[in-house]
Amino acid sequence: MLESLVQDERLSVYVSEVTQTAKVTIYDVSRGGAGVARLESGQVVFVPWTDVGDEVEIEYKLSDERFLQGHPISWIKYGPGRIEPKCPYFGRCGGCDWQHLPYDRQWQIKLSGVAHALGRQGVIFQALKEFPAEIQWSYRNRAQLRGRGQQLGFFARGSNTFVGVDRCDVLDERINSLLPTIGQEAAAKFTGPYKAEVALREHGSVDWAFNQRHSALGFQQGHPAQNRHLKAWVARNIQGRDVLIDLYGGNGNLSAEIAGRFQQSHCVDVSVPEHIPGNPLVFHRSDVDRWLKRHAESFKGRTTSVILDPPRAGLGATIQLLAPWMERNGTTEVVHIGCDADAAARDISRLTKLGFALKDCGVVDLFPQTAHVEVLAYLVR
Ligand SMILES: C[S@@+](CC[C@H](N)C(=O)[O-])C[C@H]1O[C@@H](n2cnc3c(N)ncnc32)[C@H](O)[C@@H]1O
């Protein structure tokens, strides 16, 4: 399998862009997912699908940057910890970059990556609560697939090159079993390339939509079992009883179960449903910045508990609106969930500078077989 990987035509996607070759030994795996090696020039080169101890021939673009991207052409020797990737599309499909690492190693790299990101931002924390994934395959309840005729697949890493797949080992089998049906339906509708968004619902049905914007079927956390850990952690930490504000709240995944403890509970998201029957949250379909401006003083004199679950880039400039909003509206506690370690660490650091103290911090794995990680933080003031 590894031999066939190195000779596969997919590598030509990358080779066409590069000009130099080198033999390197991987000495680390970065939290971004790639193996790390050093060229004779002293430059650091990141090489996907590699592990510590791998000796690899790589190609890379000549540059005087300190950090370069390399692409493996062939393996001279495998490192001692490397395992056989389960999926036949490993290395071709842009999905799971870490199938060659045993799960324990994946988890340790995620943990140390988060600790490092927090440390770089000067965030002081006691210990990270750990929620590694018990279910490491067939977990994913949603996917964004690409299609050509009846053939569904994904894009290759960092490109728009189509890689057809007959199944995906991290997808829930209820989705895998419907791929032929979805492909047939699409082939009857489209002559050119298309996109298929597929989501497995909580009660077991599968929905799909073609050529819609990302998350058109509504955002849902991709790993249901790990999502239960995430929700339970939020519920354990949040103490307030007055007003709950779930910003970037989606369908209220993190707040619906605790909303009953509060006098009022609000969920704000650009793609939020108007109303979910039986759900105690008040939903606001709005951009967070606009909502903060519109409700600048709506909760003055009360005590607010705020959940923040922003997209990958973190809070960005929204913190400038949020900071005075939290002052005016009596925010005493904040839960921050971040799906990028560096962005999350930056947000947590900014919250501590606003006078919040970090009380609990953790890592939950919603994406086994990939380098993605979710950082949890609970802060009070
Ligand atoms: C990481 S998801 C979290 C969703 C939810 N908390 C959950 O656990 O399912 C981020 C959410 O932010 C929403 N979003 C992104 N940018 C936004 C913005 N500027 N204003 C409001 N919502 C936004 C997306 O629609 C998405 O539902």
**For residue range 96-150, what is the model confidence (pLDDT) as tens digits?**
999 999 999 999 999 999 999 999 999 999 899 999 999 999 999 999 999 999 9
What is the distance in A from the centroid of ligand 1 to the CA of 310?
Answer: 6
What is the distance in A from the centroid of ligand 1 to the CA of 360?
Answer: 22
Q: Confidence class of residue 218 from pLDDT cuts 50, 70 and 90? A: confident
Rounded to the nearest 5 percent, the helix, strand and coil shares of the chain are 25, 30, 45
Specify the pLDDT at position 62: 87
Closest atom of ligand 1 to CA, residue 255? 6
Task: Indicate the burial class of 84 (C-beta count within 10 angstroms; 0-12, 13-18, 19 or more).
Answer: exposed
Find the residues whose C-beta lies inside 6 A of ligand 1.
219-221, 248-250, 253-254, 269-271, 287-288, 309, 311, 339
Q: Confidence class of residue 17 from pLDDT cuts 50, 70 and 90? A: low
Angle formed at CA 380 by CA 377 and CA 381, multiple of 5 degrees:
150
**Mind listing the domains of the chain with CATH numbers?**
2-82 (2.40.50.140), 110-133+223-380 (3.40.50.150), 142-210 (no CATH)
Nearest-angstrom CA–CA distance, 173 and 59: 37
Nearest CA to ligand 1 atom 20: 287
Residue to probe by mutation, ligand 1, list 219, 318, 319, most atoms within 8 Å of CB? 219
What is the distance in A from the centroid of ligand 1 to the CA of 67?
Answer: 32
Nearest CA to ligand 1 atom 27: 250
Beta-carbon contacts of 359 under 8 Å, excluding residues fewer than 6 positions away, are 237, 378, 379, 380
371-379 mean pLDDT: 97
Nearest CA to ligand 1 atom 12: 248
What sign for the dihedral angle of Cα 73, 96, 128, 219? positive
Q: Confidence class of residue 15 from pLDDT cuts 50, 70 and 90? A: very low
Residue to probe by mutation, ligand 1, list 202, 229, 246, 248, most atoms within 8 Å of CB? 248
Does the pLDDT value for residue 317 go beyond 50?
yes
Q: What is the pLDDT of residues 168-196, one digit of tens each?
A: 999 999 999 999 999 999 999 999 999 99
What is the distance in A from the centroid of ligand 1 to the CA of 337?
Answer: 11
Q: What percent of the chain has pLDDT over 90?
A: 87
Does the pLDDT value for residue 52 go beyond 90?
yes
Q: What is the pLDDT of residues 265-286, one digit of tens each?
A: 999 999 887 777 888 899 999 9
Residue to probe by mutation, ligand 1, list 270, 281, 320, most atoms within 8 Å of CB? 270
Nearest-angstrom CA–CA distance, 69 and 60: 6
297-318 mean pLDDT: 97
Q: What is the pLDDT of residues 69-80, one digit of tens each?
A: 999 999 999 999
pTM exceeds 0.85 for this model: yes
Nearest-angstrom CA–CA distance, 61 and 324: 46
Specify the pLDDT at position 117: 97
Q: What is the pLDDT of residues 233-251, one digit of tens each?
A: 999 999 999 999 999 999 9
Least Cα distance to 288 among 334, 249, 340, 343 occurs for 249
Beta-carbon contacts of 271 under 8 Å, excluding residues fewer than 6 positions away, are 215, 218, 219, 250, 285
Specify the pLDDT at position 14: 46
Nearest CA to ligand 1 atom 19: 287
C-alpha distances out from residue 318 to 84, 116, 189, 322, 326, Å: 44, 25, 41, 6, 12
What is the distance in A from the centroid of ligand 1 to the CA of 82?
Answer: 36
What is the distance in A from the centroid of ligand 1 to the CA of 380?
Answer: 22
Nearest CA to ligand 1 atom 18: 287
Closest atom of ligand 1 to CA, residue 218? 27
What is the distance in A from the centroid of ligand 1 to the CA of 232?
Answer: 19
CB 326 within 8 A of CB 297: no
What is the distance in A from the centroid of ligand 1 to the CA of 204?
Answer: 23
Q: What percent of the chain has pLDDT over 70?
A: 95
**Neighbour tally for 41: CB within 10 Å:** 12
Specify the pLDDT at position 215: 76
Specify the pLDDT at position 312: 95
Q: Confidence class of residue 161 from pLDDT cuts 50, 70 and 90? A: very high
Does the pLDDT value for residue 376 go beyond 50?
yes
Specify the pLDDT at position 214: 78
State the residue for tokens 């190693």. 105
Does the pLDDT value for residue 5 go beyond 90?
no
Does the pLDDT value for residue 11 go beyond 80?
no
Specify the pLDDT at position 219: 85
